[in-house]
């Protein structure tokens, strides 16, 4: 069985501070996908990134960066110089690669509140 | 393109009532999914379908039924609603093949069972 744990339920920061969201996962598969989604107050789910398990290169996209460490089964997400618009719930998720229907297993989510 | 749409957006039911949630996608996707979102638990898969006429159980299927009579539609039914089914329901779809990992989500349906 697969499991994703986001230990931080809520993080509050002041604008321009950096914030790191932790994600730890469990899977018996040797190959898999990892994802981050953003859910703003409006409620929709916004895809942020997908990472293959065989690619441990860190990735940066603007103010967002991701640190994937297979050795510790972690896929952490950092927002640099946070802004009020970053206030949202962020979900980490995992899926198998070779499975009929790529079902996602989500973590419980981390609510980020960025105060002006 | 509308993408993934869900009907209705909000609904209030009394215990024991039944209802059907409709999910429609216009991207010709093979795979479709129903998730429920509860506070602190993220999204959990209820049922999914890998093609027209096929359905399968997910992580939390009890109390729900689904049908996929047409490729573009995926229906989620509650035969006898219970307060424990109060949740936000999300439908998603994805293609088959190299891009199947990318799921497109609908806007969600907020259901309250009193």
Q: What is the 3-state secondary structure (H, E, C) of B25-67?
A: ECCCCCEEEEEEEECCCEEEEEEEECCCCCCEECCCCCCCEEE
Percent of chain A topping pLDDT 70: 97
User: Phi and psi dihedrals of A13, rounded to 5?
Assistant: -135, 165
What is the spatial distance between Cα A25 and Cα A77, in angstroms, rounded to a whole number?
Answer: 14
pLDDT at residue B1 in the model: 64
What is the spatial distance between Cα B63 and Cα B85, in angstroms, rounded to a whole number?
Answer: 8
Residues of A in contact with B101 (CB under 8 A): 33, 50, 95, 97, 102
Residues of A in contact with B56 (CB under 8 A): 101
pLDDT at residue B96 in the model: 80
Inform me whether the C-beta atom of residue B7 falls under 8 Å from chain A C-beta atoms: no
**Sequence-ordered list of residues with C-beta below 8 angstroms from that of B63, at least 6 positions apart, any chain:** B78, B79, B80, B82, B84, B85
Nearest to B42 among A91, A100, A102 (CB): A91
pLDDT at residue A100 in the model: 67
pLDDT at residue B100 in the model: 67
Q: Of B103, B9, B11, give the one whose Cα is nearest residue A33.
A: B103
pLDDT at residue B102 in the model: 82
Cβ–Cβ gap B45/A103 under 8 Å:
yes
Helices (H), strands (E): how many in chain A? 0, 12
The answer to whether the beta carbons of residues B111 and B89 sit under 8 Å apart is yes
Cβ–Cβ gap B101/A50 under 8 Å:
yes
- Give the pLDDT confidence of B46-104 residue by residue, as tens digits: 999 999 999 999 999 999 999 999 999 999 999 999 999 999 999 999 988 766 678 89
**Sequence-ordered list of residues with C-beta below 8 angstroms from that of B99, at least 6 positions apart, any chain:** none
Residues of A in contact with B90 (CB under 8 A): 45
């Amino acid at each position: 069985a697969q499991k994703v744990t986001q230990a931080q339920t809520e993080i509050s920061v002041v604008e321009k501070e950096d914030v790191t969201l932790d994600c730890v996962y469990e899977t018996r598969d040797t190959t898999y996908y990892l994802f981050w989604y953003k859910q703003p107050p409006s409620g929709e789910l916004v895809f942020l990134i997908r990472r293959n398990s065989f690619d441990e290169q860190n990735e940066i996209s603007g103010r967002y960066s991701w640190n994937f460490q297979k050795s510790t089964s972690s896929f952490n997400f950092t927002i640099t110089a946070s802004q009020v618009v970053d206030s949202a719930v962020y979900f980490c998720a995992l899926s198998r690669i070779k499975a009929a229907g790529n079902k996602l297993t989500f973590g419980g989510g981390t609510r980020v509140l960025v105060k002006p | 393109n509308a993408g993934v749409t869900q009907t209705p957006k909000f609904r209030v039911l009394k215990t024991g009532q039944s209802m059907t949630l409709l999910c429609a996608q216009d991207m010709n996707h093979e795979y479709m999914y129903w998730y429920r979102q509860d506070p602190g638990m993220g999204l959990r898969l209820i049922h999914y379908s890998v093609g027209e006429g096929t359905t399968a159980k997910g992580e939390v299927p009890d109390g729900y039924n689904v049908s996929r009579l047409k490729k573009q539609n995926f229906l989620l039914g509650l035969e006898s609603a219970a307060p424990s089914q109060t949740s936000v329901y999300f439908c998603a779809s994805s293609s088959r093949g190299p891009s199947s990992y990318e799921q497109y989500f609908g806007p969600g349906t907020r259901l309250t069972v009193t």
